[in-house]
């Protein structure tokens, strides 16, 4: 059973990766009142989070000053890996609330991380998440799967030959 955290309005949120493209560990950190929590997320989860945050931000008033140069802090050891992410806007607190649920077989005992973000923090997360996802391996123009230095067997070629890309 993972530990749960309730951060009504985070002091800081950061996203980053450790390692080389193709073998990166993606991390998300939240801090609140001096407590720092790090969880493991997948690249596709960051991409989806960016998409939803951008959609919410488009419907709200323009954010003020967006934080810059927010980086992951030590220790960069995740307490657990995220499976599900839920996102919503709370007009009463004027926060974008993001809830991460631990990847575990027994959902009832799964840990949760609830983070209340300002519009500015959500905008930062959207911008930095986009940068992070784009800094990885480029996608194959035929199938969209990542290309890497070891070669690429493209499913669009039906297994007959690898495309020359």
The answer on 144 and 126 residing in a single domain is no
Say if residue 119 is in the same domain as residue 41.
yes
Q: How many domains does the chain have?
A: 2
Which structural domain, as residue segments, surrounds residue 156?
139-165
Residue 161 is predicted with a pLDDT of 59
Give pairs for 15-21: CB < 8 Å, separation 24+.
15/41, 15/46, 15/72, 15/125, 15/128, 15/129, 15/132, 16/71, 16/72, 16/128, 16/132, 17/132, 17/135, 18/76, 21/135, 21/136, 21/137, 21/148
Are residue 44 and residue 20 in the same domain, yes or no?
yes
Residue 59 is predicted with a pLDDT of 95
pLDDT at 86: 97
Q: Domain check: are 93 and 143 in the same one?
A: no
Alpha-carbon distance of 124 to 70, in angstroms, equals 9
In this structure, the answer to whether residues 111 and 150 fall within a common structural domain is: no
Do both 92 and 162 map to the same domain? no
Provide, rounded to the nearest whole percent, the portion of the chain with pLDDT above 90: 69
Answer yes or no: is pLDDT of 151 > 80. Answer: no
Report the pLDDT value the prediction gives residue 164, as an integer from 0 to 100.
Answer: 54
Q: Average pLDDT for residues 70-78, to the nearest whole number? A: 94
What pLDDT sits at residue 33?
98
- 76 and 50, same structural domain? yes
Residues 130 and 144 in one domain: no
Same domain, 87 and 104: yes
The whole-number pLDDT of residue 5 equals: 98
Lowest mean pLDDT among 5-19, 78-92, 139-153: 139-153
Residues 123 and 47 in one domain: yes
Q: Could you tell me if 59 and 121 lie in one domain?
A: yes
pLDDT digits (tens, 9 = 90+) for 7-59: 999 999 999 999 988 889 999 999 999 999 999 999 999 999 999 999 999 99
Clarify whether residues 130 and 143 are in a common domain. no
- pLDDT (tens digit per residue) in 24-38: 999 999 999 999 999
pLDDT per residue over 89-142, tens digit each? 999 999 999 999 999 988 788 999 999 999 999 999 999 999 999 998 888 888
> What pLDDT does 58 receive?
95
CATH number of the domain encompassing residue 41: 3.30.2450
């Amino acid at each position: 059973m993972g530990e749960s955290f309730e951060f009504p309005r985070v002091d800081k949120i950061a996203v980053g990766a450790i390692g080389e493209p193709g073998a990166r560990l993606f991390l998300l950190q939240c801090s609140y009142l001096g407590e720092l929590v790090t969880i493991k997320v997948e690249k596709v989860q960051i991409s989806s989070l960016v998409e939803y945050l951008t959609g919410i931000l488009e419907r709200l008033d323009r954010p003020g000053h967006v934080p810059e140069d927010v980086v992951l802090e030590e220790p960069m050891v995740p307490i657990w890996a995220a499976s599900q992410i839920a996102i919503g806007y709370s007009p009463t607190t004027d926060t974008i609330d993001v809830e991460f649920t631990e990847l575990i077989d027994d959902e009832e005992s799964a840990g949760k991380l609830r983070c209340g973000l300002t519009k500015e923090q959500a905008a930062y997360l959207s911008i930095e998440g986009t940068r992070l996802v784009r800094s990885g391996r480029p996608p194959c123009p035929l199938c969209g799967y990542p290309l890497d230095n070891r070669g690429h067997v493209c499913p669009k070629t039906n297994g007959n030959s690898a495309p020359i890309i």
